[in-house]
Amino acid sequence: MLRILTTLALALATALAPATASAETRVRIKDIVEFEGVRGNDLVGYGLVVGLNGTGDGLRNSPFTEEALVTLLEQLGINVNGEAFRPKNVAGVIVTSDLPAFARAGSRIDVTVSAIGDASSLLGGTLIMTPLKAADGHIYAVAQGPVLAGGFSAQGDAAAITQGVPTSATVPGGARVEQEIAFDFGAMDRVRLALRDPDFTTAMRIEEAINRATGGQAARMLDSGTVDVSVSGAGMRSPAHLMARIESLDVAAARQARVVIDQRSGTIVLGADVKISSVAVSQGGLTVRVEEQPQVTMPNPFTDAAPIVLPRTGIGVDAGDQNRLALVREAATLADLVDGLNALGVGPRGMIDILKSIKTAGALHADLIVQ
């Protein structure tokens, strides 16, 4: 069972600040839009991580790792067919990366490495040369290098602990671009700006900001998520000059109220514009804890009797009787909601369940996004 490690209630504005001010934060155009044609491409590959401290795949349970390792060694001139080959310091992994726009041959990009077998940790391993392919099946980069795992796992005879995800790691700058993606950006006469969070108000403000900066009517809002800009209408020599001119313009970005929940890490992010209707909240649960503490009874001296193990079991039950009912008032703000839930002594998992229930009851006036 995945443990909830952290819970964050991130306020984007103070409770005393007006809602309109938090909803209209001025940001650069480049931070809220994607430029047509200026995007990354997903890359993926299968590789091997070696040098693990006995935390690799069990080759009997992960035959694909053994096959890949045998193939790799044969390419290096080492024949291991028919040998009793069962190393525990190798793990089969899926390697993913994003090839940035305009990436040139020879430049380096970061990669993410994820175990697909029964390896328990990638800590201290090294990724062996792995070709990375795009959706068209062509190889665009090759990855290799030491992996950096953020978690750890420890185990004893009667207990085990895992913090983070030690089976997923990164290789900063671990892939070298071998092939460029053909795209003639300079031949474009029109550039479209795609808003990451479509909003009619924000799109109109982007249109007005660009037209003021270029002194004409080069920009035109097509819908809530698209603004079309003419390169020649803006008096620019190329799309690159146009982008350099407009990407740093400031606009007041309107945004929707949102609550984002990451169930894997237990992270909760609530925007300052979140509003709650009048609702009563009660949280409780039944917890049963069973502990085994066997006791060993030793026989009398100079006898042939064997030691006797007497089982001792302790059972504790917490019915949550101390939990109370809290009332969240009409038009409550982010601070009111967090204070009310904290007053109940609600933990990370309980807070996530309560937010879902409030949304289902129609009292949470914000988009609830569960990741």
Residue 207 is assigned to a structural domain of this protein: yes
More confident residue, 313 or 254: 254
Cα 292 → chain centroid: 38
pTM of the model: 0.56
Q: Check residue 347 and give its pLDDT.
A: 67
Tell me which of 127, 159, 177 is where a domain ends: 177
- Residue-wise pLDDT for 11-54, tens only, equals 323 332 333 434 467 889 888 888 877 778 899 999 999 988 88
**218-222: which pairs have CB atoms within 8 A and are 24 or more residues apart?**
222/192
- Residue-wise pLDDT for 98-109, tens only, equals 988 888 888 999
Q: Are residues 66 and 148 in the same domain?
A: yes
Residue 14 is assigned to a structural domain of this protein: no
CATH number where 239 lies: 3.30.1360
Residue 8 is assigned to a structural domain of this protein: no
CA dist., res. 227 & res. 236, Å (int): 17
Q: Are residues 33 and 88 in the same domain?
A: no
Q: Are residues 53 and 169 in the same domain?
A: yes
Cα 131 → chain centroid: 24
Give the Cβ contact number of residue 280 at 10 Å.
Answer: 10
Residue 19 is assigned to a structural domain of this protein: no
* H or E segment and range at residue 23: helix 19-23
Give me the domain span that covers residue 166.
41-177
Q: Are residues 85 and 207 in the same domain?
A: no
Tell me which of 153, 177, 201 is where a domain ends: 177
CA atoms within 13 A on the CB side of 55: 18
CB 120 within 8 A of CB 55: yes
Q: What's the DSSP call for residue 1? A: -
Tell me which of 231, 253, 275 is where a domain ends: 253
Residue 216 is assigned to a structural domain of this protein: yes
CA-CA-CA-CA torsion sign (12, 16, 18, 19): positive
Q: Are residues 193 and 164 in the same domain?
A: no
Residue 10 is assigned to a structural domain of this protein: no
252 falls in which pLDDT band (50, 70, 90)? Answer: confident
Q: Check residue 302 and give its pLDDT.
A: 67
Q: Are residues 217 and 271 in the same domain?
A: no
The total number of structural domains that make up the chain: 3
Q: Which pair of structure tokens corresponds to residue 134?
A: 């795009």
CA dist., res. 8 & res. 286, Å (int): 25
The phi, psi pair for 305, rounded to 5°, reads -70, 145
Residue 137 is assigned to a structural domain of this protein: yes
Q: Are residues 33 and 140 in the same domain?
A: no
Mean pLDDT of 203-217: 90
Q: Are residues 224 and 156 in the same domain?
A: no
Q: Are residues 90 and 196 in the same domain?
A: no
